[in-house]
Structure 1
Amino acid sequence: MKKRRSIADAAPAIAAAVIFFLTDMVLPPAIAGIVENTFVVSQVNMTHLCKETLVTVVNGQLPGPVINVTEGDSVVVHVVNKSPYNMTIHWHGVKQRLNCWADGVPMITQYPILPNQNFTYRFDVSGQEGTLWWHAHIPCLRATVHGAIVIRPRHGPSMYPFTKPHREIPIIIGEWWEVNLEELDMDLRYFVNDHFFSASTINGKLGDLYNCSGVVEDGYVLDVEPGRTYLLRVINAALYSEYYFKIAGHKFTVVAAGANYVEPYTTDVIAIAPGETIDALVVTNAPPGSYYMVALPSQPPKPDFQSPVLVARGTVKYADNHSPRNGTVALSSYRGQGGRGSPAGDVPVAPEMPDNHDASTSFYFHGNLRSLQHPLRLPAVPAQVDERIFITLGLGSVCRRGKSCKRGEGNEEEFMLVATMNNVSFELPAAMTPLLEAQYYHGSSVETLHELPDRPPRVYNFTDPALIPYGPKAAQLEMTSSKTMVARRFRYGTTVELVFQGTALMQAESNPMHLHGHDMYVLAQGFGNYEAERDVAKYNLVDPPMVNTVLVPRLGWVAVRFIADNPGVWFMHCHFEFHLSMGMAAVFIVEDGPTVDTSLPPPPVDFPTCGHADNPTPDECYLKTKKSESPRVNVF
């Protein structure tokens, strides 16, 4: 449910002259609006693969409703929690400028919304255009509690820096789970890796590669007209997998990533990791017929764990009795698997997909992104770096229940595998005030923080394949530590350079790293071990892409910069759910600047600080928080 009302005094007139692709345009004043939505979180039964599954969704939909706004609008979302779970909603990629209170991370920025309670989020989307998304920030529930956020230019689609599309279509790639997602999270925390999703999905549909008692599942169908341009807003909402996405007989022109415009480039495949969004134009200039759109999950090769290759398949279907307007291609060009080679046949044409172990296609796809010169682009890449942090990403082990333990002494049950950043795994205390509230009222006196180190404790060949299977080499490196609230504190305006280094320690996954509240300049990436003396020369300081989620390639590295100019407490974490549940996370605290306009305002008047009637003030709550008084929640 949603409604929109304009506010005449909500925004000043936009400057009369806007430089837009070397063309001067005089634009009329724009009126910002308030876009209201009501999200009712509840459980419904859905049937796939001959099995009825109880699923937590928003407004009875999977995916959930699209939030459609224009740049500069204010957004109000009333969340009504009728599910049996604690709930928060994170607005993935929304910068929340001076509005960290609305970021939606339980026990980091707020108490969770308990069952049968309500909460209202308020934020704006100034200075952003493109595709973002929203999702639950409760363990594993984002698998079904998610939806798109579409931010259009204030002065309409004619202001797109590309061909005005005939239609715009969100394409959400996800997973269908037949297990209890709360139990899945608990198993992930203890590395019980015997659960896997049952199918991949496109816009909630499995497609005809799956069947139930001989009856194939429905697939998503995109009906198109010949000779038109369509804007696909592609989102990866999956818990486990990066995906390769293709449409047989068609090419994509990528125009944006993470709600930032990029220099258009043409490709026949999109590589998209969990948390990422890609905007791509598709021109329907193929012969009339039907064409499969395919989402293929990728994974590292052996000796890493091998999961089933579960492909989702939808269909692009041309309207009947029309011919292409913008050029045709011979039918013989479309011979492919799954069809008779003719688009006019009964079976849609299938694309040739990359190998599911192929990492180079993803590497080159992400490496081709370049930022587009545009009025909404942030300032040039900062040349001066104030802090540099080198972060290794991998697995490790800790002793359960605080005991000392040593491998090979018949006490394997005393060990627990964890995911780490610089050999430290993030852990949330069982009872506490949300960190943002504690930081706002008590600042540096907060005692539960453990600093994220500048570098790992040991230097070794981080990408040595011999470390993937557990053995003598891995045993020497696996012991790590689990710390409550691993964090890093930055002064306002600090320019931070992060180098994320993937490792082979007991796994060789890629890592989609998401930073809340900020965009990151992606300077360079590479395979193997990062070497500053060699790799700094590769940095793109002219037009690097800006993203909120950056993919660290398998057995490789990526270098990013961001400016810590948004005061608050911001989560940084891997968007693979198994890594997040196991602790691959940290908190970045950005301190207030010198003025009111550079300082975090107090919480909104209706914000549930403390959340307990017997602790009415933040000071009392901070001093009196007890386990019996705090909701039992997980941060992830």
Structure 2
Amino acid sequence: MESSSSWKALLLMVFFLLPLLAQGMTRHYKFDVVEKSFTRLCSTKSIVTVNGQFPGPTLYAREDDTVVVKVVNRVKVNVTIHWHGVRQLRTGWADGPAYITQCPIQPGQSYVYNFTLAGQRGTLLWHAHISWQRATVHGAIVILPKRGVAYPFFPTPHKEVVLVLAEWWRSDVEAVIDEAMNSGRAPNVSDAHTINGHAGPVSGCASSAQDGLTVRVDKGKTYLFRIINAALNEDLFFKVAGHQLTVVEVDATYTKPFTTDTLLITPGQTTNVLLTADQGAGRYLVAASPFADSPLVAVDNRTATATVQYASSVSASAVVTTTKPPPQNATPVASSFVDTLRSLNSKQYPAKVPLMVDRSLLFTVGLGVNPCATCTNGSRVVADINNVTFVMPTTALLQAHYFNTSGVFTDDFPGQPPIAFNYTGSGPSNMQTMNGTRLYRLSFNASVQLVLQDTGVIGPESHPIHLHGYNFFVVGRGVGNYDPKTSPSKFNLVDPVERNTIGVPTGGWTAIRFRADNPGVWFLHCHFEVHTSWGLKMAFVVDDGKGTNESLLPPPSDFPAC
């Protein structure tokens, strides 16, 4: 009798626990935002960090877990943290961009970010989302599959390695952008690229000779590299000497696997690759180098390096096999990588591409020039979407939307360019833009097609565009002007890659589709921080649907005040 009762109790416990396990666990983290001194490139400077680390700590969780992060601001400036690529279903209060979804966390204050990783697995990025703090305040988000769920088409790797690519300035980055904004000119470029905070040997800097990352591998085993571009202003190529890389995931969505020797990763994007240690004993150079195919753009042309070292190579002075990065303007290499990406589109992970479109939008993205009495030459370089240079509010847009506060924003953002012209040509003679805090309103569950068109105003250049709160499907891209009559005939509506950040090619266009099934206010902006500072940003306001499950949750009790 006692044995039978015990079994019944156990079965009842399992019956009640299984739904809880299916919902995921709650993971608690604490982020202390503090200053700490680091020595890089023969110089020492104090930077803003999380928990004194550069890059910051990696946040680990599983699909469908709830993540609770208490962020405590122990520095003298305002801070926010954005969980880049997290869908934030109905939890826009935890998204993080300053004055868009929240007021900043002021010095001495704290804020608890609470969100669920619903239906996501792979690699994402967290970073500061105010001014240029992202330069040093960033880290990885690793979302493992649910317990008992294997990777979809490849065996569990021997080991997983997080690689965060970034930039390093010898000077204070806030001073760099402040000087640029005051002068009206472009800011100085960085002094080096880094891999997990290390630049590798840098010419002219003796103390950096040993400043490199080493990834140790065993011959015959396969490794999963989780690669993140946290750089402020530069697209980056990534290569490992002597090795092929098999792409299996981008932006926390699985892809059809393909093999390449060179990756392209724009700021904000992530890429997971498999590397099999199939070479002879030795040390193999890892390289992260810039990609920029516009003559308009100045970049930091230093290549960050790390080393893949086979365990049998006991000597650190073993022969190093080097790799030659692609030329800085290697457009064919970049385009080949982007064009090869496809969604996995399996039964378990389908590509739910909207086939019908409720809203068809065309957004031009580019630069302009506005008058500035206090600036050099009496003018200021600005950036815009559909000729609107975004003006940041002093009240959080999500807060104004939720409480129906008037006077903070308007919902009349133009869905088409106000004036049609040859977008990739020389551009109009009048390069002045309009200023405004203008949003575009979408009804709940509307299907949206958005074409992002680069312009030749001042000069063409690429733009990594990030949409908060959503994943989208990249259904098409091309060079020149988008043609609404002919371009859609080449769209991929079967297995287009699913992302949260996409590069608009220099002098070209990219078309994306998504379903507006997440109520709130969602930022859309260039992930080159200089362009965001200049005003290349806007936001969608997505209305509530029917019932509480389609409505924005109320703000938390500790929501920061502006």
User: 1:53, CA displacement in angstroms?
Assistant: 1.1
- 1:422 aligns with one of 374, 386, 390: 386
Paired with 2:188 and 2:151, the residues of 1 have a C-alpha distance of 46
- 1:389 aligns with one of 336, 344, 361: 361
| 2:353–2:493 Cα contact (<8 Å) kept | yes
| 1:257–1:277 Cα contact (<8 Å) kept | yes
Paired with 1:451 and 1:192, the residues of 2 have a C-alpha distance of 30
User: What whole-Å deviation, never above 9, does each CA across 1:136-169 have from its counterpart, x for those lacking one?
Assistant: 0011110100000000111256344322111111
- Does residue 368 of structure 1 match 2:330? no
Question: SS of the residue aligned with 1:182?
Answer: helix
**Residues 184-583 of structure 1: matches in 2 within 5 Å?**
184-190=176-182, 191-213=184-206, 216-302=209-295, 304-320=296-312, 346-374=318-346, 377=349, 380-400=352-372, 413-429=377-393, 431=394, 433-442=395-404, 445=406, 448-449=409-410, 451-464=412-425, 467=426, 476-483=429-436, 485-583=437-535
| 1:424–1:480 Cα contact (<8 Å) kept | yes
Question: SS of the residue aligned with 1:364?
Answer: helix
User: What whole-Å deviation, never above 9, does each CA across 1:504-562 have from its counterpart, x for those lacking one?
Assistant: 22132211100000011100111111112221011111111110001111111100011
- RMSD of Structure 2 on Structure 1 (CA): 2.4
Paired with 1:118 and 1:9, the residues of 2 have a C-alpha distance of 39
- Does residue 147 of structure 1 match 2:119? no
User: What whole-Å deviation, never above 9, does each CA across 1:83-111 have from its counterpart, x for those lacking one?
Assistant: 11100000000000011110011111111
Unaligned runs of 5+ residues in structure 1 are 1-6, 15-28, 323-342, 404-410, 468-472, 612-629, 631-636
User: What whole-Å deviation, never above 9, does each CA across 1:195-245 have from its counterpart, x for those lacking one?
Assistant: 121100001001013452465251111011111111111100001110110
Distance 1:10 1:182, change over 3 A: farther
Paired with 2:534 and 2:16, the residues of 1 have a C-alpha distance of 44
| 2:351–2:495 Cα contact (<8 Å) kept | no
| 1:492–1:566 Cα contact (<8 Å) kept | yes
User: What whole-Å deviation, never above 9, does each CA across 1:476-529 have from its counterpart, x for those lacking one?
Assistant: 04111111x221010001111100011122132211100000011100111111
Structure 1 vs Structure 2: percent identity of aligned residues? 40
Question: SS of the residue aligned with 1:142?
Answer: helix
Which residue type is aligned with residue 453 of structure 1? P
| 2:441–2:543 Cα contact (<8 Å) kept | yes
**Residues 48-63 of structure 1: matches in 2 within 5 Å?**
48-63=40-55
Q: TM-score scaled by structure 1?
A: 0.82
Which residue type is aligned with residue 467 of structure 2? L
Which residue type is aligned with residue 277 of structure 1? T
Distance 1:319 1:447, change over 3 A: closer
| 1:289–1:344 Cα contact (<8 Å) kept | no
Q: 1:339: which partner in 2? A: none
Distance 1:412 1:51, change over 3 A: closer
| 2:33–2:75 Cα contact (<8 Å) kept | yes
**Residues 56-205 of structure 1: matches in 2 within 5 Å?**
56-156=48-148, 158-190=150-182, 191-205=184-198
Stretch moving more, 414-423 or 178-187: 178-187
| 2:55–2:164 Cα contact (<8 Å) kept | yes
Distance 1:530 1:215, change over 3 A: closer
| 1:206–1:217 Cα contact (<8 Å) kept | no
| 1:128–1:376 Cα contact (<8 Å) kept | no
| 1:130–1:152 Cα contact (<8 Å) kept | yes
Paired with 2:48 and 2:317, the residues of 1 have a C-alpha distance of 39
Which residue type is aligned with residue 439 of structure 1? H
Which residue type is aligned with residue 434 of structure 1? A
Paired with 1:247 and 1:512, the residues of 2 have a C-alpha distance of 24
| 1:293–1:316 Cα contact (<8 Å) kept | yes
Paired with 1:50 and 1:9, the residues of 2 have a C-alpha distance of 61
Paired with 2:23 and 2:486, the residues of 1 have a C-alpha distance of 50
Question: SS of the residue aligned with 1:451?
Answer: coil
Question: SS of the residue aligned with 2:79?
Answer: coil
Which residue type is aligned with residue 390 of structure 2? F
Q: 1:331: which partner in 2? A: none
| 2:409–2:439 Cα contact (<8 Å) kept | no
- 1:43 aligns with one of 19, 35, 41: 35
User: 1:300, CA displacement in angstroms?
Assistant: 2.5
User: 1:450, CA displacement in angstroms?
Assistant: 5.3
Question: SS of the residue aligned with 1:282?
Answer: strand
| 1:359–1:554 Cα contact (<8 Å) kept | no
Question: SS of the residue aligned with 2:201?
Answer: coil
User: What whole-Å deviation, never above 9, does each CA across 1:18-53 have from its counterpart, x for those lacking one?
Assistant: xxxxxxxxxxx6462111111111111111122111
Question: SS of the residue aligned with 2:486?
Answer: helix
Paired with 2:272 and 2:189, the residues of 1 have a C-alpha distance of 29
Paired with 1:157 and 1:210, the residues of 2 have a C-alpha distance of 47
Give 4+ residue runs of structure 1 displaced > 6 Å after superposition.
7-11
Paired with 1:143 and 1:422, the residues of 2 have a C-alpha distance of 28
Distance 1:374 1:73, change over 3 A: farther
User: 1:569, CA displacement in angstroms?
Assistant: 0.5
| 2:294–2:461 Cα contact (<8 Å) kept | no
| 1:427–1:583 Cα contact (<8 Å) kept | yes
Paired with 1:558 and 1:291, the residues of 2 have a C-alpha distance of 36
User: What whole-Å deviation, never above 9, does each CA across 1:61-88 have from its counterpart, x for those lacking one?
Assistant: 1100000101111101111111111000
User: 1:376, CA displacement in angstroms?
Assistant: 5.9
Distance 1:211 1:383, change over 3 A: same
Which residue type is aligned with residue 230 of structure 1? Y
Which residue type is aligned with residue 108 of structure 1? I
| 2:367–2:458 Cα contact (<8 Å) kept | yes
Question: SS of the residue aligned with 2:150?
Answer: helix
Question: SS of the residue aligned with 1:532?
Answer: coil
Unaligned runs of 5+ residues in structure 2 are 1-12
Question: SS of the residue aligned with 2:108?
Answer: coil
Paired with 2:68 and 2:137, the residues of 1 have a C-alpha distance of 18
Which residue type is aligned with residue 547 of structure 1? R
